[in-house]
Structures are given as structure tokens and as C-alpha cells.
Amino acid sequence: MDAIQMVDLKRQYLKIKAEIDQGILEVLDTTAYINGPKVKAFQEGLQHYLRAQHVIPCANGTDALQIAMMALDLQPGDEVIVPAFTYVATAEVIALLRLKPVMVDVDYDTFNLTADIVAAAITPRTKAIVPVNLFGQSCDLEPIMALAQERGLWVIEDNAQAIGADYTFSDGSTAKTGTIAHIGCTSFYPSKNLGAYGDGGAISTNRADLAQRMQMIANHGQGRRYYHDAVGVNSRLDSIQAVVLGVKLQHLDEYAAARRAAADFYDRAFAGLDWVQTPVRHPRSTHVFHQYTLLVKNGQRDALQAHLQQKGVPSMIYYPVPLYAQDAFRSFTEVEHLPITEQLCQEVISLPMHTELDQEQLHYIAETVKSC
Ligand SMILES: *Cc1c(COP(=O)(O)O)cnc(C)c1O
């Protein structure tokens, strides 16, 4: 059996090597490193895949969130509602822009925000909500969007972990995650479901006014060359990453299916264990399993992790500390205690999850968990 990895990018690369290598050589040959035809082709491809009106590629997922927030003309001190159980980037850009991150709890089963949680946190200073589609499935966004509409709030979807997932509305229609809120942000960090071979990110929106503004902000606030209408940032996707992403976008649904098959295997293997909860799939969202995250309910999560490590099975704790308990955010929030977030930080453990897991590896991982 090959050594088990949290994410196996090498085996995935070998299957698409010819196409990737040829595309990268073309970039080297034409020297169109920045903003070349490869970036344009990927941008159009992603727009088509997401069924979005506008896609703006940028340098990484954190920049995508920052540019989205800069486009909304928020003022220092304006409140932005964000889950306390997420990757740091989601709240970091809020603090960086001198806005106030209002950290809220999440739903225990799905790890995601709900409309009820958001509603309880709205104040007269609230301007925006950032639901995070954590671990690969959508928040229940229809009621969140209805609430935002009613209260006049912006919604930015942090879709860094759920690209490719489908959300179903109550009328039966579907949309890709990242296109449901006013703005969607994603990351192409190598280990993400659509990962580059370096950094990358993208912003999507169906609003022409926001698209134009975000495009400008991402490019030094330039409307036309050397005329700067606003203070912006320098955030570009480079052509070599666009080649990799263009090739992998063709395989994204197949990659999601491979992840789902691994998740199904794990679900079946752990069904009889009373001390773990397997991931709960929300009926409104497909799950693309960026992570396969168990909840260890007997207080032995750390012991399980040690046992796995000893047997050569990697695992990760996403996330060990609530954002409000991080030193970086002490001066930005008064929140001291959110019960579900704290419980999740104690109970979560993510198992190896990628597109190349074979039956032998899955079997070994499952048996190792069960023998703890
Ligand atoms: C990865 C990630 C980001 C940041 O993306 P980068 O490309 O690493 O900047 C933001 N939010 C979430 C939820 C993420 O998982």
C-alpha cells in the first residue's frame, strides 16, 4: 500500500501531466505570464461552469474576500457577521479593513451559519454577512438571502471550500455555490478542490456594477491605464496557474465524485460506531467533501489522532481554536464564548480526503479508526 497522505497532489498530477506540461510550456514560449490568453480562457471557462455573469480571477482567496469587501463601500466600524468556526482569512480581511467582525456560532451538524443565527446578531450597524460553505457543502442560503434582502444587507459567500457544489432552492431550481449571494469568493490554493500549483483565487457575481468595481479594485483601482479612480490592490492570477486550473476545471465534477465515493466508504465504515458522528449532508446542498470531518463524541479525539498517527494515518484538526479566542482578534471582538464552536473545536477530526484514495487505503484508514 502506498503511504497515505492527507492530500495526494502527485498522483493527481501524473494523470493530467501531458496536458499541464504542454500548457505551461506554451506560456513559457509566449512569455504572456500575466493577463495572457490563458487567464482569459480560464476566466470564461469558470464563468460558464458556475453559470455566473462575471468572474474576476485574482491572486488568492483571501484577496478575493478583501476585494469583495472593498467594493461594498463599508465604513470603519460597520459590522460584518461571520462564523467563529472558519479559517482565519474570512475574519482577517474584515479586521484589516477596520470593519467589525461580529463572530457568531454555527449549526452543530453542518458546521455552517443558519438564518436564525444570523438574525439574532443583526444590529443597526450590521452591513454585511459572510456565510462560509465549510468543508464542501453550502450553507442554507435561501433563507439567509431572504433575511439580507429584508434588512438591506450585503452577503458575500466564502466558497473557498465548496467550489462545484450545487444548492437547491425551494422552487426546485439549482445554482452553483459561489453564485447565490451578491458576491462569491473562492481559493485555488493547491489543496482546495480546484487547486492550482501555487496561489490563486476568484470572485464571482451576477451584478455588473459590482463586477466592474471589483475588477478595478483588483487592478490598482485603475479604470483605464494609469488613471486611478479608487485605492485598490494588486491581485492577479498568473498564466501558469490559469493553465493548471483550466485543465483541472475539466475534471472538477469527476474529482467531486471521487471525493464523494471516499466519503460514502467512510460513512458506511463508521455507521455502527456510537462514539463518532459522520458528516451530516444538508438536503439542500450537494457535498463536495473538501474535508471529511468526524465528530468524536467520547472526549477521545486527541487520543484517536495519536492512534492514527502511530499507524501511519494522517489527520488534521480543522479548526482547533475559535477565532474570537485567537490573540489576533482580541481587540476586534467582545465575544468570549460560543458553545457550539467550542464543542466543535474539541470534537472535530478530518481524515485523509482527496481524489486519489484507493480501496486499500480507505479500508486501512477505516479499520484503524475502528480499532481505536
Ligand atoms: C483557503 C480559504 C481561504 C483563503 O484562501 P487563500 O487562497 O489561502 O488566501 C478563505 N476562506 C476559507 C474558508 C478557506 O478555506
Contacts of 226 (CB under 8 A, 6+ apart): none
Fold for 252-370, please state it.
Answer: Aspartate Aminotransferase, domain 1 (3.90.1150)
Residues 304, 296 contacting (CB under 8 angstroms): yes
Counting as low any pLDDT under 50, the low residues of the chain are none
Catalytic residue among 192, 248, 311, 370: 192
Q: Which of 58, 87, 88, 318 to mutate to test the pocket of ligand 1 (most atoms within 8 A of CB)?
A: 87
What is the CA(64)–ligand 1 centre distance, in A? 9
Predicted model pTM: 0.98
Residue 162 and residue 180 in contact, taking contact as beta carbons nearer than 8 Å = no
CA of 273 to the centre of ligand 1 (A): 32
Q: Which three cell numbers stand for residue 344?
A: 466543535
Q: Is the dihedral of CA 51, 54, 57, 62 positive or negative?
A: negative
Which residues have CB under 6 Å of ligand 1?
60-62, 86-87, 89-90, 132, 158, 160-161, 187, 189, 199, 201
Ramachandran quadrant class, 289 (left: phi over 0; alpha: psi -120 to 50; beta: rest) = left
Q: Work out which ligand 1 atom sits closest to the CA atom of 199.
A: 7
What pLDDT shows up at residue 223?
86
According to the model, what pLDDT value does residue 131 have? 98
User: Amino acid letter at 95?
Assistant: A
- The residue whose CB lies within 8 Å of the most ligand 1 atoms, and thus the one to mutate among 7, 90, 245, 293, is 90
Determine the distance separating the centroid of ligand 1 and the alpha carbon of 284, expressed in angstroms. Answer: 23
Q: Looking at the domain covering 9-104+112-249, what would its CATH class be?
A: alpha beta
Q: Report H helices in the chain.
A: 9-30, 37-50, 61-70, 88-96, 115-121, 141-151, 208-218, 239-249, 252-270, 301-310, 339-347, 359-370
Determine the atom of ligand 1 nearest the C-alpha atom of 63: 9
Active site residue 192: yes
CB 192 within 8 A of CB 200: no
Reading phi first (left if > 0) and then psi (alpha if -120 to 50, else beta), residue 207 is in: beta
CATH 3.90.1150.10 domain span(s) along the chain: 252-370
How far is it, in rounded angstroms, from Cα 41 to Cα 348?
Answer: 39
Listed in order, the ranges of the chain carrying CATH 3.40.640.10 are 9-104+112-249
| Position in ligand 1 atom list of the atom nearest CA 62 | 9
CA of 152 to the centre of ligand 1 (A): 27
